[in-house]
Each structure stands twice: as C-alpha cells, then as structure tokens.
Structure 1
Amino acid sequence: MKKIGREYLLITVGIVMVAYAMEYFFIPNNIAAGGVTGLAIIINYYLPLLSVEIYSFAFNVILFIIGFIFIGGNFGVKTVYSALGLSGSMWLIKVIFNPVAITKDLMLASIFGTLVSALGMAIVFNQNASTGGTDIIAKILNKFFHVDIGKSLLLVDFIVIFLSGITFGWDVGMYALLSILLNGFTIDRAIEGFNVCKQVMIISSKNNEISKFIMDELERGCTIFNGKGAYTGNDTYVLYSVINRKEFIKLKYFIKEVDPDAFISVNEVHEVLGEGFKKIE
C-alpha cells in the first residue's frame, strides 16, 4: 500500500509539472507542441466557447472511449489517472491562479516549458503510466495499419504542428517542432537519470564478508565468479552485483574497512530489470 501511495504521489507531482508548463509557457504563447493539449490550443483558437482545459479533458475522455472500443480497456488505472489528472490540474491552475505567460519570448517559452514538461512526463513514465491522449491514437494506428508506436506518435504530433503552423503562423509552428524534438531527448535523459545504478565487480580476499554485506545489509543479489590472477597465478573470486547509488556508497565504505586493498570496477547502467528492481514488462 505504501508503494502504491508513493507511485501515485510521484505521478501527481509529474502531471502538476506538465500542467504548470502548459499554463505558464505553452498555452499563453499558442505553442501547440503536439498531443491532446496542442490540439486543444488550436481548437480553442477557432472555437473559443470552451477553454483549452475543457477541450483537453473532453478529448481525453473521447479517446479513452474510442480506445476501449477498438483496442480494449488495457490502459491501466495509472494511465487513466494521469491523463484525466493532467486536464484537471490544468483547469485548477487556470481557475485558482489565473496564469499569464512567464515570458513572451517564444524561444525561452519553448525551451523552459519543454524542460519542465519533459521532466514531469519522465516522472510519470517512470511509474509505468502515461498521459494518455495521443498514445491511444498511436496504438490504434499500430493495430489497424501496422505503423510502429514511435512513428505513430511522431505522425500525430507532426499533424498537430502542421495545424499549428497554419493557425498561428509558421514561426510559432517551428517553435512547437523545436519543443517536440527537445521533449523526446529530455525525457530519455531524465528517465536514464532516475534509473541509473552501479554495476560493481569486486576482487578481494574478503569476498565472504563482502558478499554477506551485500546480501544481508543491502538486501541485494550477488554473483560470484571463479577467477585466476594472471600475475600471481592464484585462484580468486570475482563478486558481481548491481546496486543503486546510495547503496554503493555504503558498500564502498564497508570495503574500505574490511579490505582497503580490494579491487573495485564500477560502471553505470541506465536500466535494470528483474527481482529487486523494475519488473520486466
């Protein structure tokens, strides 16, 4: 229960960050950077009877219904929560804070809005959720037209950008394109940063003590390989484990105490799947 609560707390933080970027950077500057919100910005220009937030919420609901009909209801509770929560967060920010553009400079708005939004989306994606919307369209294109999910998402976003260029001018459309390109890169880098772990290989005469510390104190798995020193010709053991950064600090201090002459090789790994880490999905 505690783990689930933490996941939803992080998802909430993520969608609030995305909503902030939309309300203070994108929407006031008419930067329709793809997705459902981008489409809502364009529709709001032609039909200002409803706000961008209401259009975004309505589009998400409609897309979930269409997705349920054509691809089944396997969206997951977290994705539904994220998608509808994003629209709700945008609406609350608009009603409570009446936001205005932090900057009217389209370059600054594109860059900083994308950085905030991408970090928020990375937090959401890292909890195995998504903000829905165009993801559903991409899945439909993939199912019926066999277009790759990634290409489908790009296709949908480029259509929104094209409509943005027609509506707000090609200068604004190009800033929207810049935002999308920067968004994908930033999300990837942010997720890698969240999941980075230390892959350690240790050669030590105190391998029993060290392996016991890894398993009992750090509660991580440890694999032992047989080895042989090329210079000495003596048989030895190589300990292998993958741990997070905080655990690596503890391990390093422990090894310093029990065997300061130990040999340690450390590499960074950006994704670890399996027991003790993220599930393979």
Structure 2
Amino acid sequence: MKKNKTFETVRKVIMIVLGAVIAAYGLEAVLIPNSVIDGGVTGISIMGSYVFGLPLGVLLFILNLPFVYLGYKQVGKTFAIMSIVGIAALSISTVLLHHVTIILGPEDPLLIVLAGGIFLGVGIGIVLRNGGALDGSEVLAVLLSRKIPFSVGDIILFLNAFIFIGASFIYGLESALYSAITYYIAKNVIDIIQVGLEKSKSVQVVSAKSAQIGEAIGARLGRGVTFTQGRGGFSNEPTDILHCVINRMEENKLVSIIKEHDENAFVVISDVSEVRGGNFKKRDIH
C-alpha cells in the first residue's frame, strides 16, 4: 500500500512538472513575445516584468507564495506542496525557455491566441487534475469552486477579466482583447482536461416500462437508477419516472437500451456540472 502511494505521488509530481513546462512554453514561445499575456498572478508578474524589468521567474515565485499559504490553510498540506512544485517548475521553465525560438509572429494573431490558449489550457489542466496549481488565481479558484456552483475554469476567467483591463493600459486594447480570447480558449481546454471523457449527464425517462429499462441499465451499464412516482398531466395516470447519472461515453448505449424496451419513451438528457456522494461509481459488469 505504501509503495503504491509513493508511486502515485511520484507520478503526480512528474505530471505537474510536465504541465508547468507546457504552460511555460506557451508563454515564452507564443504569448509573451507577441504582447499577449496570461491571467491571474502570472499575468500580473508578466506586466511587472515588462514595466520594472524584473525577471519573470522571480516574480512568479514570490507573488504566488501568499496564495500557496492560503491553499495550505484552506485545502491542505498535499495541495500546497503540489502547488509549490508546479509554481517552482513554471518559474524555472520560464527562465530556461526565455530564449526559445518563437513559433508564431504578430502576423498570425488568430494562430497566436489558438496555440497559446491550447498550451495554457493543457498545462494548467494537467496540473489541476493532478492536485496542484500553477497560479495563485487557480488556488483561489479551487477554493471558490467548493463554495459556488461554477467550474474552476469559469472562476479563473472571471478573475482574469480584471487583469485584462489592466493589461489594456500597458499593452493596448488590442493585446488585452487577444489575451481575453486566449483565456476563453484555455478555459475550455482546462475543463476538458480536468473532466475528460467522464463528464456526467443526468437522464430522466418517463415510460410505462420504466422497471424493465431500469433493470437493463443496471445489468448492461452497471449504473444504479432511482424511481420517483409521477402522474401524467394529460392522461392523469400514475407512472414511474426513472433517473440515473451516466458519463457521456455511455449516452448512445443508454439510448439504445431505452429504445429496445419502449420506442415512445420520453427521455431528457442534460449535462451535469458535478456529481458527489451517493453510488455514482460504476459497478463492474462482465
């Protein structure tokens, strides 16, 4: 057990360092040379480095320390350690990659925001998925996401809106707008990396054969179902309403199961932002 835990910790550290390097490459090879900034504490550090001529890596590490302490107090020791690893790796990587070859020039603004957003989103998403953070705003976003019904990516985008307003006074309005577009792309990539293919969907089925459908879902998908008693508004007849939660990879199979039992079943499928508790974990099926 201890050996497995050590292996998992080492794996997470490696992935966090990898994510930090990817994000740093996006900054140094795409965004910063074209006056498109990152957001959060990293964005403030970039602007501070530009205005005062201080090393970006030093500012990144120093300005993020208070947020790491906040993460330690509010989330825990492991999160703080993983965040320090990520922030240190990002700081060192920006120094080592400072003179890396620029892969896109100012004549390709759309490619700049697309490539920069993908690099940032993949890097940040990998770090967050493995229990760390690259930026103080991410630490704050992780904390806030526990209190309010918004994803980490949504909160980061909101916080960065204020950073981009400040950037418009330093780099100009055009660069600030490109920065905002870049982060919109990064936000969506972050959510994809964090949630992956396991994004959940809520399913409601109204059918005269709800019991048979429920049994088939349990046997063939390994998912639990819940029945609630309803009454048809037109027919005034009682009916069972089936409810279950699946991931998006299971949607087509679920629809096929429903159609096999009742072609006329009323089905509602909607996205779910988060699932906690209960018995959502998939049961093994053979």
Classify the TM-score, shorter chain: 0.5 to 0.7
Correspondence list, 1:209-224, <5 A: 209-215=212-218, 217-224=220-227
Structure-1 residue corresponding to 2:152: none
Does 2:117 correspond to 1:115?
Answer: yes
The answer to whether the 8 A contact 2:34-2:106 is kept is yes
Does 2:131 correspond to 1:132?
Answer: no
Structure-2 residue corresponding to 1:255: 258
Deviations 1:62-83 (A, max 9, x none): 2344446788644623433332
Structure-1 residue corresponding to 2:173: 174
Does 2:267 correspond to 1:265?
Answer: yes
Deviations 1:44-92 (A, max 9, x none): 55777x8xxxx34322332344446788644623433332233344455
Correspondence list, 1:225-240, <5 A: 225-229=228-232, 234-240=237-243
The one-letter amino acid paired with 2:101 is: P
The answer to whether the 8 A contact 2:29-2:103 is kept is yes
Count of residues in correspondence between the two structures = 254
Distance (whole Å) between structure 2 residues aligned to residue 238 and residue 70 of structure 1: 45
Does 2:246 correspond to 1:243?
Answer: yes
- How far the C-alpha of 1:175 sits from its partner, in A, is 3.6
The answer to whether the 8 A contact 1:82-1:129 is kept is yes
Correspondence list, 1:11-160, <5 A: 11=16, 14-42=19-47, 55-67=55-67, 73-74=73-74, 76=79, 77-91=81-95, 93=97, 98-105=100-107, 107-108=109-110, 110-120=112-122, 121-122=124-125, 124-125=127-128, 129-133=132-136, 154-160=161-167
- RMSD over equivalenced CA pairs, Å: 4.3
**TM-score of the pair, normalised by structure 2:** 0.65
- How far the C-alpha of 1:244 sits from its partner, in A, is 1.0
Correspondence list, 1:187-198, <5 A: 187-190=186-189, 194=195, 196-198=199-201
Identity %, equivalent residues: 24
In structure 2, runs of 5+ residues without a counterpart are: 143-154, 282-286
Cα 1:274–1:10, aligned 2, differ >3 Å: closer, same or farther? farther
Cα 1:116–1:17, aligned 2, differ >3 Å: closer, same or farther? farther
In structure 1, runs of 5+ residues without a counterpart are: 140-147, 166-172
Distance (whole Å) between structure 1 residues aligned to residue 102 and residue 17 of structure 2: 22
Distance (whole Å) between structure 1 residues aligned to residue 38 and residue 156 of structure 2: 18
Deviations 1:173-221 (A, max 9, x none): 3343113322443344445654743221123344334323444553434
Q: Describe the SS at the equivalent of 1:176.
A: helix
Distance (whole Å) between structure 1 residues aligned to residue 132 and residue 247 of structure 2: 22
Distance (whole Å) between structure 1 residues aligned to residue 220 and residue 259 of structure 2: 16
Distance (whole Å) between structure 1 residues aligned to residue 254 and residue 212 of structure 2: 11
- How far the C-alpha of 1:133 sits from its partner, in A, is 3.9
Distance (whole Å) between structure 1 residues aligned to residue 10 and residue 214 of structure 2: 33
- How far the C-alpha of 1:93 sits from its partner, in A, is 4.7
**TM-score of the pair, normalised by structure 1:** 0.66
